[in-house]
Amino acid sequence: MIYTASSIPAASTSDKQALAETTLRGLVEKARSGDLNAFSDAVAILHPLVYRWALTFARDVDEAEEITQETFVLVYRKIDQYRGESAVEGWVYHITRRLAFQRHRKAKRRRWLSDAGLPGAESVYNTDPGARVDRERMTTFIRHFFRELPARQREVFDLVDLQGHDPAEVAEMIGLKAGTVRANLFKARASIRAHILELHPDWRDIHR
């Protein structure tokens, strides 16, 4: 049988995450032995994730960058404390989260979310009456209402719906019961959906 590119199934998100985790564990083991190049490689893989997490807690971009830098300083100092009992990503997330809370326990989402702007209901109806909301517009609405969620709901929504983590995995990452994570996720989704439908009641087909 001849296989073509189209006949070979693409790797799933979970497969890619598993591969990344395996790579990170190997790099961390080398870093624990003093391999600075391995640590640099681990930082290169983790940096986009840590910066994204930092944005969830920071008041602005500058603070997010500071949190990111400080996180990797702590990761380097604590590298010997990692025993492989949890995923590297989860361990680093815990460090990022704790550091951010120490800096500002009432951290807010970066300001660019509030600067994104919300299209006026009147202009939407005039230019696109009765049509299904497109992906770009939906993203704008979600970003706008996302910043208004309570801190816990905002954190869970970001990790599950925006970053693609499983609720059970998020529960381990932030130290909550899986049921509590799912409850906060349900509330966050319901809140965002209610806000959108308040402006656009015709969009009842928005997924819960």
Structural domain including 169 reads 112-199
| Pair (117, 99) in one structural domain | no
- Model confidence at 170, in pLDDT bands (50, 70, 90)? confident
Q: Does the pLDDT of residue 202 top 50, yes or no?
A: yes
In a domain, 166, yes or no: yes
Q: Which of 55-69, 103-117, 150-164, 166-180 has the lowest mean pLDDT?
A: 103-117
In a domain, 141, yes or no: yes
| Pair (117, 192) in one structural domain | yes
136: exposed, middle or buried (C-beta count within 10 Å: 0-12, 13-18, 19+)? exposed
pLDDT of 62-121, one tens digit each?
888 999 999 999 999 999 888 877 889 989 999 998 888 877 644 333 333 344 444 443
In a domain, 164, yes or no: yes
Instruction: Specify the pTM.
Output: 0.52
Q: Which residue has the higher pLDDT, 163 or 11?
A: 163
| Pair (20, 99) in one structural domain | yes
Of the three residues 56, 82, 103, the one that is the final residue of a domain is 103
pLDDT of 7-66, one tens digit each?
434 445 555 566 677 888 889 999 988 899 999 999 999 999 999 998 888 878 888 899
Instruction: Count other Cβ atoms within 10 Å, centred on residue 51.
Output: 18
Q: How far apart are CA 45 and CA 54, in angstroms?
A: 15
| Pair (124, 79) in one structural domain | no
Q: How far apart are CA 48 and CA 142, in angstroms?
A: 21
Which CATH number characterizes residue 87's domain?
1.10.1740.10
In a domain, 9, yes or no: no
What size, in residues, is the chain?
208
Q: Which residue has the higher pLDDT, 61 or 143?
A: 61
Q: Given the structure tokens 């994204």, which residue do they identify? A: 52
In a domain, 205, yes or no: no
